[in-house]
Chain A
Amino acid sequence: MAIGAVIARIITQYSAKGSKAAQKDIAKLGKDFDKFAKRSALAFAAAGAAVGAFTVKVGTDAVRAAMEDQKSQVLLANSLRNTVGATDAAIAGTEDYITVLQKQVSVTDDELRPALSRLVAATGSIAGGQELLSTALNVSAASGADLATSVGAIIKASAGQFKALKTLVPGLSNVTIKSKNYGKALEEVNKQTAGAASKRAQTLEFRLKGLNIAYGEVLETLGYALLPVIEKFADIVTTKVLPQLEAWIAANKDKLAASLDTILTKLPALIIQVFDLFNYIQRNLGTIQVLGALLVSTFAAAKVYAGVIALSGAINVLTAAFGRQAAAATAAGTATAFATGGASALAAAAALTVFATASLVTYKQLTKNNKELTKTEKTTTAIAKDYGKVVGTTGKVLGNTTKLTAEQQKQLASQVALNKLKAMGVVPTSETNPIQLEAVRLNLLKEQNLAQQRMYDQLLANYNATERMNIAAQRYADILTVIADSKISEQEVNLLAAKWNLTNIEVLKYIASVTGNVNLGKGWDAAGYAAADGWKAALEELNKYLAAVGKGAFVAPQNIPGGGGGGMPPTTSDVVDKIVQDFTKAVETIPNPQTSLPGYGAYRESERTGMSSMLSNTALPGYRDYRAGERASSPNVNITVNGSVTSSNDLTETVRNGILAGQTSGRSITARVLDL
């Protein structure tokens, strides 16, 4: 938004964005209120306590003031009655006068009453007394003297003594004083001091006094209200408490007196004894000091003695060990111990004992070390001597190194080679030719490497065997799991094939080889596979034999016609039977040259009857020719089969096709011929 843009809000909506802050503010406000309330409560509590204390004080002051006022009133009333025979009404009127006057002139009634009482007595009338009281108040105000002094001066003046009044009122003429005219003097005094009391009452000081007086009146009023209570309390104490106390004292006064007598009797004796003790100490202070010093010194001496005794062994040990110097050091140590810790000399002795023991051990060790050092020194000396020789020899060697002959160089090389062999653990031989030695070394290295290689191969073979054992064990466990139900399903074969990384057929063969039960693979043509293997083996053996006898390889028939006739396709068993028959026939048709020799039957008979020693097949007529012919040529074996079987593969293919033709599972065989 541009700076200085004017925004006029038309639609206003509430936003809760600041509400949390507001809640905080409100919460804070609430807390502030709580604090204020607590503080206020405390303040009010303090104020209440203060008020309570103030109340107590006010009450106390009120009672005290009331008592004083009452006392003052009683005295005035008594004086008025005695001097002028004032009636109660006159006394009450006088009290009213006093009350009004104290407010006017700010002088307390406790001062006014005695003054009025004295003036009434001097004048013989209440009215005269009141008149003179006014004069006295003015004189007091004008002169600054207190009311009692003013009253006394006026009373003296009424008796003809004007000196005091002259002092307070200097303007009083000497003529009047000399004339001793009391009336005239009083007239002059009134003239000179008129209104002084009223004027003084207007000043701040006396206005404050007036307030104090008013407060005092209030207190007195309150006190008068409280007085009956106090009087009642006093009455109770007087009538109830004190009589009981008196009765108790009366009952126990003898015991109290006896106890007191005992105390007074014993106390002087005790005091005397204490006094005597202190006196004795005072008198024998010097003796006690000496005794104390003696005790202390004795105690210390004992410690020193014990310390010396305790240390003697250590000192002797140290002396013997370190000789004079060690003894001196020990003595110094002991002295130090006594000087610094004489009071703990025994402790020092113990410490020194420990030190001595440690020192002894150290000494022995040092002695031992010294012996070793001496021995070492001797050795070192000898070494030093030899070192000189070595240096000389070395120098010569160094000098001659540059002049090494070829032989020496050879020896050096031989030594180096021998050292290398030594490092390999080879016992040095008499061989000195470095080249040979190096060859030996290299050969050893090679052998080592070969040995290492063999070791690695062995390890690897071991590992492989272990691995194979593990695999075999795992496979065996798998087989046991699979054949638990005495059959193998397609899914199980697939799983095993995937797990073993083999083909399905390899799996079946493996299982058959392990379990020896080819029937497990029923439905999986395991029997057919086994038969095919058997045929392969038989064919191989046959061909080997045929080759040995100089015949050609067996040719298996193909597309064997069905033996059952009727145009039905041949079954697997028919085909196999046919092949077996042909094979057997072919084998049987092979003539045995030896058995066909003349006299062979007699030879066999003599063999059965134990006459073989007399006859021998080699002695048979024509045997030589037989052997010669055998060597010259092998008999031909002709195997005639229908079809065009020309090789083992053809044979296995034929077998496989036959099996396929005979298998009933309908499952396609994916294995190749070579797999069979």
Chain B
Amino acid sequence: MADEVIVLTGIKETQDALKQFDKAAARKFNKVINDALTSAERSADNLVVQFTNPVYGTPMRGWRKTSAANPRTRGGAGWPAWDVSTIQAGITKSRAQGKVRGDYTTSAGALINKSAAGAIFEVAGRTGNASRNQFIRYLSNSFGKASRLIWAVVDKDKDEIQRRVAAALDEAKKTLQTNLNGRS
């Protein structure tokens, strides 16, 4: 996970203002963000396939492929089934702003891992003593520590995505300024 966070300012304002002067430029800026997020989403989807054992159809042999009728216990009845398509469908991109954090930042683009199996695979073993749990131990040994799907993609591509979006934002701001200058 990257230590530094690039905080972009004026994405929405620039986009809204740019729509009034140059819709093409607005669409172009929008496309940069969407493309970056789509690329990240696709990478995460690929990871799901990559982590699925072609023999078992699951990351691990004992992971169910169908959901239990009475979901109660982990690993047995109730443990969410590993279904590649369901997990991939659960991985989506979002441009919703969401809550404003204490550092006065909000999201302008994010990946979401919605499915239960995907979320377990994503964060299992992130906290607590993983060595005492065989499932987590095996999961960590085989697929690495927590942050295995979307966070893995984000950690890998975040800087590049932020640079691209920042560059597009600068360009959009310049375009907007040019339009504003021309207007005045």
- Residues of chain A whose beta carbon lies under 8 Å from any beta carbon of chain B: 1-2, 4-19, 22
Which residues from A are CB-within-8-Å of B118? Answer: 6
Known contacts A6-B150, A17-B100; decide if A11 and B33 are in contact (CB<8 Å).
yes
Sorting the interface of chain B by its residue count into under 10, 10 to 19, 20 to 34 or 35 or more gives 35 or more
Given contact pairs A4-B119, A5-B114, A15-B106, A10 touches B100 in the complex (Cβ within 8 A): no
Closest 5 CB pairs of A and B: A11-B109, A11-B108, A6-B113, A13-B108, A8-B154
CB of A10 within 8 A of CB of B113, answer: no
- Chain A positions within 8 Å of B107 at CB level: 7, 9, 11-13
On chain A, the residues within 8 Å of B36 by CB distance are 10-11
Which residues does chain A contribute within 8 Å of B109, judged by CB atoms?
9-11
17 further contact pairs, Cβ within 8 A, besides A6-B119, A11-B165: A2-B115, A5-B112, A5-B114, A6-B123, A6-B151, A7-B110, A9-B109, A10-B40, A10-B109, A10-B157, A10-B162, A11-B162, A12-B8, A15-B100, A15-B104, A18-B102, A22-B104
Once the chains bind, are B105 and A5 in contact (CB under 8 Å)? no
Do A13 and B9 touch across chains, with their CB atoms under 8 A apart?
yes
**Are A1 and B8 within 8 A (Cβ)?**
no
- Contact A14–B114 (Cβ < 8 Å): no
> Which A residues are in CB contact (< 8 Å) with B108?
11-13
Contacts of B64 in A (CB 8 A): none
A-B contacts, 6 listed (Cβ < 8 Å): A5-B113, A7-B94, A8-B112, A9-B110, A10-B109, A12-B8
B17, CB-defined interface residue at 8 Å: no
Task: List the A side residues contacting B33 at CB < 8 Å.
Answer: 11
CB atoms of B122 and A6 under 8 A apart: yes
Known: A15-B100, A15-B105. A10 touches B8 (CB 8 A): no
Enumerate B72-110 residues with CB–CB distance to A below 8 Å.
90, 94, 97-98, 100, 102, 104-110
Chain B 1-24 per-residue mask, 1 if CB under 8 angstroms from chain A, else 0: 000011111111000000000000
Tell whether, in the assembled complex, residue B106 and residue A12 are in contact, meaning their CB atoms are under 8 Å apart: yes
Q: How far is the CB of B34 from chain A (nearest CB, A)?
A: 11
Q: Which residues of A contact B176 (CB under 8 A)?
A: none
1/0 per residue, CB under 8 A from A, across B116-129: the answer is 10110011000000
**Inter-chain contacts of B173 with A (CB < 8 A):** none
Residues of B within 8 A of A9 (CB): 107, 109-110, 154
- Inside 8 A of B115's CB, which chain A residues have their CB? 2
Residues of A contacting B110 with CB < 8 Å?
A: 7-11
| Residues in A neighbouring B162, C-beta threshold 8 A | 10-12
Shortest C-beta distance, A26 to chain B (Å), equals 12
**Given the known A-B contacts A5-B114, A15-B100, are A10 and B105 also in contact in the complex, defined by CB atoms under 8 Å?**
no
Contacting residues, chain B, for A19 (C-beta < 8 A):
104
A1 to B114, CA, bound (A): 8
Chain A residues near B10: list those with CB within 8 A.
13-14
Contact between A14 and B104, CB atoms less than 8 A apart: yes
For the complex formed, measure the closest distance between the CB of A492 and the CB atoms of chain B, giving whole angstroms: 58
Given A1-B112, A6-B113, are A12 and B104 neighbors across the interface (CB < 8 Å)? no
The smallest C-beta distance from A4 to any residue of chain B, in angstroms, reads 5
Question: For A22, what are the chain B residues with a Cβ–Cβ distance below 8 Å?
Answer: 104
Q: Which of B145-170 contact A (CB under 8 A)?
A: 149-151, 153-154, 157-158, 161-162, 165
Please give the residue numbers on chain B whose beta carbons come within 8 Å of chain A beta carbons, in ascending order: 5-12, 33, 36-37, 40, 90, 94, 97-98, 100, 102, 104-116, 118-119, 122-123, 149-151, 153-154, 157-158, 161-162, 165
Determine how close the nearest CB of chain A comes to the CB of B14; give it in whole angstroms. Answer: 10
Residues in B neighbouring A11, C-beta threshold 8 A: 8, 11, 33, 36, 107-110, 161-162, 165
Residues of A within 8 A of B94 (CB): 7
How many A-B contacts are there with CB distance less than 8 Å? 103
Contacts of B153 in A (CB 8 A): 8
> Cβ of B100 and Cβ of A18 under 8 Å apart?
yes
A5 neighbours in B (Cβ, 8 Å): 90, 112-114, 119
Q: Which residues of chain B come closer than 8 Å to A6, judged between CB atoms? A: 112-113, 118-119, 122-123, 149-151
- Chain B proximity of A22: nearest CB distance (Å): 6
In the complex, the answer to whether A10 meets B12 with C-beta atoms within 8 Å is no
Chain B residues whose C-beta falls within 8 Å of the C-beta of A15 in the assembled complex = 97, 100, 104-106
Closest Cβ–Cβ distance, residue B31 to chain A (whole Å) = 14
User: Which chain B positions have C-beta within 8 A of A16?
Assistant: 104
Query: In the complex, what distance in Å separates the CA atom of A11 from the CA atom of B160?
Result: 11
Chain B residues near A14 (CB-CB < 8 A): 7-10, 104-106
Shortest CB distance A544–B (Å): 93
Assess the A8–B151 pair: CB atoms within 8 A. yes
C-alpha spacing A22/B115, complex, angstroms: 36
The complex places the Cα of A99 from the Cα of B45 at a distance, in Å, of 91
- Which residue of chain A is the closest to B12 with respect to CB atoms? A13
Minimum CB–CB distance for A368 against chain B, Å: 94
Which residues of the partner chain B approach A17 to less than 8 Å between Cβ atoms? 100, 104, 106
Residues of B within 8 A of A8 (CB): 110-113, 150-151, 153-154
The distance in angstroms between the C-alpha atoms of A18 and B101, with both chains bound, is 8
In the bound complex, CA of A57 to CA of B123 (Å)? 71
Please give me the residue from chain A that is nearest to B120 by CB atom: A4
Are B106 and A13 within 8 A (Cβ)? yes
Expressed in whole angstroms, the minimum distance between the Cβ of B78 and any Cβ of chain A is: 14
Partner of B114, one of A2, A10, A12, A13: A2
CB of B82, distance to nearest CB on chain A (Å): 16
In the complex the two chains form, what is the Cα distance from A4 to B124 in whole Å?
A: 12
Specify the chain A residue showing the minimal Cβ separation from B96: A1
**Cα(A15)–Cα(B123), bound, Å:** 28
**Given known A-B contacts A15-B105, A15-B106, A18-B100, A10 and B161 have beta carbons under 8 A apart:** yes
Q: Which A residues lie within 8 Å of B105 (CB)?
A: 12-15
A10 to B1, CA, bound (A): 11
User: Shortest beta-carbon distance, B148 to chain A, in Å?
Assistant: 10
Q: A5-B113, A7-B110 are in contact. Are A13 and B8 (CB under 8 A)?
A: yes
Cβ 8 A contact of B7, one of A1, A10, A12, A18: A12
Residues of A within 8 A of B11 (CB): 11, 13
Closest chain A CB from B42 CB (angstroms): 13
Q: Bound state CA distance, A7 and B7, in angstroms? A: 17
**Measured CA separation A1–B119 after assembly (Å):** 13
CA–CA, A2 to B104, complex, Å? 24
Complex: how many Å from CA A19 to CA B149?
34
CB–CB A7/B112 < 8 A: yes
Interchain nearest-CB distance for A668 vs B (Å) = 62
Assembly CA distance A19 to B106 (angstroms): 13
- Nearest Cβ on chain A to B180's Cβ, whole angstroms: 21
Question: Please, which residue of chain B has its CB at the minimum distance from the CB of A6?
Answer: B113
CA distance A1 to B113 in the complex (A): 10
Give B94 Cβ to nearest chain A Cβ, in Å. 8
**Nearest chain B CB to A535 CB, angstrom units:** 82
Determine the distance from Cα of A16 to Cα of B107 in the docked complex, in whole angstroms: 13
CB A23 to nearest CB in B, in angstroms, measures: 11
A9 to B106, CA, bound (A): 9
With A5-B113, A16-B104, A19-B104 already in contact, the answer to whether A10 and B9 are too (CB < 8 A) is no
Complex contacts, B119 vs chain A, CB 8 Å? 4-6
CB distance from A74 to the nearest CB of B (A): 76
Q: Contact between B7 and A13 (Cβ–Cβ < 8 Å)?
A: yes
Q: How far is the CA of A411 from the CA of B155 in the complex (A)?
A: 123
Chain A residues near B100 (CB-CB < 8 A): 15, 17-18
**In whole angstroms, how far apart are the Cα atoms of A655 and B157 in the complex?**
109
Chain B residue with minimal CB distance to A13?
A: B108
Nearest-Cβ distance from residue A11 to partner chain B, whole angstroms: 4
Minimum CB–CB distance for B97 against chain A, Å: 7
Which residues on the A side are within 8 Å of B9 (C-beta)? 13-14
Output the residue of A11, A15, A16 with the most chain B CB within 10 A: A11
Which chain A residue has the least Cβ–Cβ distance from B164?
A11
